[in-house]
Structure 1
Amino acid sequence: MTKGLRSARKEPRAWQRMLSGRRLDLLDPSPMDIEIEDIAHGLARVARWNGQTVGEHAFSVAQHSIVVEEICAHIRPDLGPKWRLAALLHDASEYVIGDMISPFKTALGFDYKKFEERLETAIHIRFGIPAKTPANIKKLIKQADRACAFFEATQLAGFNHTEALEFFGQPPAGYALSIEPLSPAQAQSRYIQRYNVLSEAAGFAATSSDAAFDTE
């Protein structure tokens, strides 16, 4: 068999090399290959709304995630740090797959969701969160996610108030947000800072190199 034929039959690469040096298998992701620095770096460079927003900088998924965690705590002031950490990490899989807009996710269908869920499970295990988020916490995070989207839509993405209410609903009472998109470096730094605060408060290690693989 010629070299050309052998090369043609070689399986396509299914892993991504991260800046930390980790090689993450996209089809079978291992918690051991996931680092918070890689997540923060990637999310700070992934734009919400496919970048169709006003301002010098895109509104990053990293900054969005920080806001969602804050809104969760506004809705549920007694929310424990473990679940606030889950809120911060709710879009962490997008450091690998990007921020696909909802209509495209719908078009891709169930196989995409399985891929996303497998990656989310590995991320949760890596950072000490239960692999499966309880239904009430998922509902809370979704509520906060939609509230953040309302502010993004009206302040950055060109939606009027009526349109935003139709798609995302009314934000929680008593919460107001004025968005100023951060640079990627700022968003990355703040994401890691918030992770360290919540991780320590939850009783987990505050840095990725020492993070526990606690699933309790």
Structure 2
Amino acid sequence: MTERVGDWIQTFTGRQFWPLDPRPEEVHIADIAHHLSMDCRYSGAVRRFYSVAEHSVLLARAVSPRHRFAALMHDASEAYLRDMVRPLKRWMPEYRTVEAAVTLAICARFDLPAELPAEVKEADNRILHDERLQNLAPPPIPWSEEEQVEPLGVSLRFWTPIEAEFWFLTEFDHLTDGRFGAASRFPSQGGNGGGTRESRGETRRHG
């Protein structure tokens, strides 16, 4: 076995992943979906639990069809690196270097463009407004200028981790035509997956 850079983390599925030496063949969607479903946005400074996985699904449903897959996966690196708040990330160039390398491995694994589409970047900024209004305390002072944008117009669902994981995998399967068998963790769209679509009053957006 070739020597690896840095140390490894154990993923949800029991695999090894080297954050400082990411390789596409070691990226697995089951790990990404589960990790993101358990990771709360805004370092937990929210009124109700709101996961990175739910954020990603809502963003994917809000952009044009050709950019939905990129939107769904735009924060996938956080499955291995956790969600770092923007004010801190700006001052962490080494983290951004590692994040870029992990993102490239994920893009190679799932045939995604290395450059995030401009529409997704804009939508990712705009959804901050929706999240702030619906789930954060009023800010003590206005947020930074780049975050003073029109809201995207989404409604947060406040899914449990198991629901967020289910909908992330369902969206992924739809956008990849089931090539990776992502939703096989929820074979009946129920059972341990948190109930059927109908029982949760949810349907995925087509088009």
Task: Tell me which interval the TM-score lies in, with the shorter structure as reference length.
Answer: 0.7 to 0.9
Q: Select 2:53's aligned residue among 54, 59, 62.
A: 62
Q: In the alignment, what sits opposite 2:111?
A: 128
1:207 equivalent among 156, 181, 184? 181
Give the ranges of 4+ consecutive aligned residues of structure 1 lying more than 3 Å apart after TM superposition: 162-166
Using the alignment, how far apart are the partners of 2:61 and 2:55 within structure 1?
A: 10
- 1:27 Cα deviation (Å)? 1.0
Uncovered stretches (5+) of structure 1, i.e. residues with no partner = 1-10, 74-78, 210-216
Pick from 147, 161, 169: which aligns with 2:149?
169
Q: Deviations over 1:70-126 (max 9, x none)?
A: 2222xxxxx42xx32111000001011111111110122x22111000000000111
Q: Per-residue displacement from partner, 1:22-68 (whole Å, max 9, x unpaired)?
A: 2111111111111111000000011101111113xx11000000111
Corresponding residue for residue 162 of structure 2 = 185
Contact 2:169/2:182, CA 8 A, preserved across alignment: no
Distance 1:158 1:44, change over 3 A: same
> Counterparts of 2:53 and 2:134 in 1: how far apart (Å)?
18
Q: CA deviation at 1:179?
A: 1.7
With normalisation by structure 1, the TM-score equals 0.75
Q: Which has the larger radius of gyration?
A: 1
Partner of 2:74: 90
Over 3 Å counting, the alpha-carbon distance change for 1:165 and 1:187 in structure 2 is same
Over the matched positions of the two proteins, sequence identity in percent amounts to 29
- 1:165 and 1:106 map into 2 onto residues whose CA distance is 13
Return the alpha-carbon distance in structure 2 between the equivalents of residues 158 and 62 of structure 1: 22
Question: What residue in structure 2 maps to residue 14 of structure 1?
Answer: 7
CA distance in 1, matches of 2:142, 2:61: 24
Per the alignment, residue 202 of structure 2 pairs with: none
